[in-house]
Amino acid sequence: MKVTTLISQEEISNKVNELALIISNDYAEKELLVVGILKGSFVFMADLIRNLSIPCRCDFVKLSSYGKETVSSGEVKMDLDISSRVEGENVLVVEDIVDTGLTLSKLKEILASRQPASLRVCAFLDKSSRRKVPVEIDYRGFEIPDKFVVGYGLDCDEQFRYLPYVGIIEEDS
Ligand code: 5GP
């Protein structure tokens, strides 16, 4: 299996700085609760929060949809909920990649029902051509083509999360 670079480490670093600056300005004087969707978002979230110039609290949820397959099953269930109180909080959901939109729309629905002061989404990657349900992304890293990508937290059967760049898997011929 060969991984070809799609987004370099430098491009990622510049984009994370850019997003963190915008988010820090938007939430100036506010307290932020950053909610990462496990597992894929942990690398992006770690870099993002360290570039914010505002304090934040962090929590995580785990939603399952993919398993070992590279196509969505269409079903989303919550495997791990956050322990933080959401009511009255400014919540920023951090997602690695928005594909069909099913995961994010399900999580937004759950969190919105808990009456946050605000609820926004920061997604590292967006594969908008594959969307099945409309979902608003407030802060977007990169729009990518309809290819299965790995690296920077994203896996293929738990491999490749450690890559510092985003790449496309190519099967050996
Ligand atoms: P959605 O619910 O939007 O269809 O899927 C979101 C989840 O599917 C992401 O959090 C991610 O775990 C997985 N996913 C979607 N596209 C890709 C991809 O190209 N590569 C990897 N590694 N995971 C993906």
Per-residue HEC secondary structure of the chain comes to CEEEEEECHHHHHHHHHHHHHHHHHHCCCCCEEEEEEECCCHHHHHHHHHHCCCCEEEEEEEEECCCCCCCCCCCCEEEECCCCCCCCCEEEEEEEEECCCHHHHHHHHHHHCCCCCEEEEEEEEECHHHCCCCCCCCEEEEECCCCCEEECCECECCECCCCCCEEEEECCC
Structural domain includes residue 76: yes
Distance from the CA of 14 to the center of ligand 1, in angstroms? 23
Structural domain includes residue 3: no
User: Rounded CA gap, 72 and 69, in Å?
Assistant: 7
Catalytic residue of the set 47, 99, 138, 172? 99
The pLDDT assigned to 141 comes to 98
The total domain count for the chain is 1
56-64 and 166-170: which strand pairing?
unpaired
The pLDDT assigned to 37 comes to 97
Structural domain includes residue 47: yes
The pLDDT assigned to 164 comes to 98
Structural domain includes residue 59: yes
Pocket perturbation via mutation, ligand 1, pick of 154, 158, 160, 161 by most ligand atoms within 8 A of CB: 154
Structural domain includes residue 72: yes
Structural domain includes residue 65: yes
Q: Which domain holds residue 101?
A: 9-146
The pLDDT assigned to 1 comes to 80
Q: What is the pLDDT along the chain (173 residues), one digit of tens a residue?
A: 899 999 999 999 999 999 999 999 999 989 999 999 999 999 999 999 999 999 999 999 999 875 444 455 567 889 999 999 999 999 999 999 999 999 999 999 999 999 999 999 999 999 999 999 999 999 999 999 999 999 999 999 999 999 999 999 987 76
| Torsion over CA: 113, 114, 115, 118 (sign) | negative
Place of tokens 């510092």: 164
The pLDDT assigned to 170 comes to 85
The pLDDT assigned to 65 comes to 72
CA angle 167, 17, 61 (to 5 degrees): 70
Whole-prediction pTM: 0.93
Partners of 169 in the β-ladder: 3
For the CA of 72, the nearest atom of ligand 1: 4
The pLDDT assigned to 75 comes to 77
Based on the residue annotation, tell me whether 99 is a catalytic residue of this protein.
yes
Structural domain includes residue 164: no
Which CATH number do you get for residue 17? 3.40.50.2020
Structural domain includes residue 56: yes
User: Rounded CA gap, 103 and 93, in Å?
Assistant: 11
